[in-house]
Amino acid sequence: MTLQNRKSKSSRSSRRPKRSRGSIKKARQHKAPKEVALAEVKDDLSKYLRLAVDEEIVITRHGRPAGILIGFGSEDDWFDYRLEHHPDFLRRIEDARTAIRAGRGIPLRDLR
């Protein structure tokens, strides 16, 4: 066998072109979630983690939604997700909204 006829031993994922990484919110804004059976996800989890970077994957069990797989393209995306779902952060946002509704906020025009 000549050198040219041998197949590459690199993994499938390393041969794929790299996709650009952006905000997970922007990438998922206009796509409907993809539904995949749990058995399929279990058979090829790494494939679905790659797909989940660009779209939410709804995992179904017996045809019914059972969970959701969300991928992160970067550590910043992971940090943003954690921050947006952290109970203390959400509480502080709600406290600030309540204060603004009660008239205790500062109008932007007064900040100049």
Q: Domain range spanning residue 58?
A: 21-103
Question: Which has more confidence, 22 or 32?
Answer: 32
- The angle formed by the CA atoms of residues 68, 74 and 75, to the nearest 5 degrees, is 95
Q: Is residue 110 part of a domain?
A: no
Q: What is the pTM of this model?
A: 0.52
How many of the other CB atoms lie within 10 Å of CB of 70? 16
Closest CA to 69 of 47, 85, 89, 84: 47
Q: Is residue 6 part of a domain?
A: no
Q: Is residue 3 part of a domain?
A: no
Q: Is residue 109 part of a domain?
A: no
Q: Is residue 38 part of a domain?
A: yes
pLDDT of residue 6: 47
| Total structural domains within the chain | 1
Report the distance separating Cα 94 and Cα 104, nearest Å. Answer: 14
CATH value at residue 98: 3.40.1620.10
Name the helix (H) or strand (E) containing 42. Answer: helix 38-43
The radius of gyration of the chain from alpha carbons, rounded to an integer in Å, stands at: 22
Question: Which has more confidence, 7 or 66?
Answer: 66
Q: Is residue 51 part of a domain?
A: yes
pLDDT band at 29 (very low <50, low <70, confident <90, very high): low
